[in-house]
A and B are shown apart, each in its own frame.
Chain A
């Protein structure tokens, strides 16, 4: 079985400061990892993914994430936060070797609040 943990329900950061949203995962094999963002009353928007290769992945809107296999983590980061980054962020995992097709297992989400 695969699972994702997002230990923080909410992260508060001042505009211009760096932000980190944490994610740890568990899969039986190697993972495909994803970050999505959700604005109120909207669907999920894809931010970035880790498939293989470089542990630092760059994505949309200046976001990046670092894959750490030994710590089974995939934290989302941004060097300088914007008020418009305020939203709900989801980490998701798919087992690379599993028979789950495209099934994504999501974390519970982290509400990011960026304040002036």
Chain B
């Protein structure tokens, strides 16, 4: 069974640009969550999508957005990039939402903003 796939693995962008990251969950999983990992702030929840609907959102500015498609694949978009957006962005997929099921993480996308 294939794991969670995130593309691309590495990205370098310039301040002010926008970026789109992609996540393909484990087959059959309907919940996709996104996290930002930085040395200073640690792991922070961005948002969760379940059956194409945003289920929950973390404390991030509106520049961070996401969506989920009918095949459960998800994308997150960051507009008007800032230097502080440099981070490892992790996607996690789960079978269900709001239950005790564990989340399985992808290898992440390393975004560097210069």
Contacts and interface: CB of A to CB of B under 8 A. Distances in A.
Nearest to B91: A43
Interface in B86-114: 90, 92, 94, 97-98, 100-108, 110
Contacts of B97: 101-102
Interface residues of A, number: 26
B45 A43 contact: no
Interface residues of B, number: 28
A43 B103 contact: no
Given A101-B50, A102-B31, A104-B45, A43 B100 contact: no
B90 to A, nearest CB: 6
A101 B108 contact: no
A88 to B, nearest CB: 10
A46 B105 CA distance: 8
A34 B99 CA distance: 13
Contacts of A90: 43
A49 to B, nearest CB: 5
Interface of A is mostly: loop
B21 to A, nearest CB: 13
Contacts of A52: 100
A102 B48 contact: yes
Contacts of A105: 45
Contacts of A51: 100
Contacts of B107: 41-43
Contacts of B100: 32, 49, 51-52, 94, 96
A74 to B, nearest CB: 14
B42 interface: yes
